[in-house]
Amino acid sequence: MSEINVSDYSIFEKAIVTTANIGTCFANNTSVFNSCKTKLGNQEIFMGPICDECVSAMDVVDVKIAAERESYETLKNHLGTTMKEYMIADNKADITITDPNLKSVSDLGIKTESTADKDINADSVKDGTNVAKALNKYGDELNNAKYATVKENIYTTTTEETINGKRVLVTHVVVNNPSQVNGAPANGAYGNGYETPSSAAGRLGATILVNGSHYTDGGREDLKGANNIVIVNGEIKTDGYSGGQEMLLDSNGNIYNASGKSASQLVNDGVKYSYSCHSTQVIVNGDTSPAYNEPRSYHRTVVGQSGPCEYYIVTDIDDQPLSGTAEYLKNKGVNNAYSLDQGGSVTLVRNTDVINNPSDGSERAVGDFLYFTN
């Protein structure tokens, strides 16, 4: 038995913001337009029939702009009313769907255990949640995992596997709420130096944390290549237009890219963090061909999304070409995947423990992070 709630109203919120911005645009244009009319009417050299005709034509345009502005205001109000109606209906809804293949967590027989490598508390997991569904679907994975954490709001396993003969750690993360997926700069502020991943994990209360952007002096993102923007915690740090190489993380927990969009557009779309890295594209909307543009074998952190609030992280143990990782992740159902910083920066932290072997011999302090919390 699983409960279904229509609780994501972000599409309405984004549409309301967009229509409000367009309405403001029309209002600004009206102000400028009226100023032009006044200037034209005050010029004695243009007195007479020609001036009257120009002013008349401008009046027609002015009326049209006012009408468009009113239309968008009406649309914004309609969207707000509709969102409230959905919220009221959602609060009243009590819809259950019986899935014969979905067992109650208590019927799965998952052993609760607490060790250094496996921290499993199946008793805390509520039926019908993303984590409960993961336990139903990935029971064998949980049993075979090298590391595992299962709590009320998070399911995560890490297994050692091979891709084309190359060893990797594959971390699978499922969370109940997109707010559990976040980015963070080193030491709590963008450009505030570097921090080791294990230190950041402890500070942020992360269950799983990996290194983030390719960085330059002072922990700032390296914007060479096609990377052009920086967004940190929903704030624009470097303005411009996306070059399509950034990995974007939005408030719905989605990772994607958006070539050509401005930083302000992306923030309005709900983007809360951007990651910059050379050759970052691995899978874009199901297409693995971008991975073949980088033929080098190298240590990398690759993050992929296979569905709402579900992610895979591949941490290379041996040097690995991106193409092999791309095909592996696509077979896992990943639709979008991106490579973050590489080489000695590649670090995978569980709680505060580094569970890979960074190629530098120890963890490297870096500029920012991607992390998941319970």
How far apart (Å, rounded) are the C-alpha atoms in residues 290 and 302?
Answer: 13
pLDDT-derived band of residue 195, with 50, 70 and 90 as boundaries? very high
pLDDT-derived band of residue 238, with 50, 70 and 90 as boundaries? very high
Q: So what's the pLDDT on residue 90?
A: 52
How far apart (Å, rounded) are the C-alpha atoms in residues 58 and 69?
Answer: 16
CB-based burial label for 329 (10 Å; 0-12, 13-18, 19+): buried
Q: Which of 50-64, 116-130, 274-288, 299-313 has the lowest mean pLDDT?
A: 50-64
Using CA atoms, how far residue 166 sits from 160, 229, 319, 324, 350, in Å, is 10, 34, 7, 9, 22
pTM over 0.85: no
- CB atoms under 10 Å from CB of 218, counted, come to 12
* Per-residue pLDDT at 355 exceeds 90: yes
pLDDT-derived band of residue 330, with 50, 70 and 90 as boundaries? very high
How far apart (Å, rounded) are the C-alpha atoms in residues 182 and 196?
Answer: 17
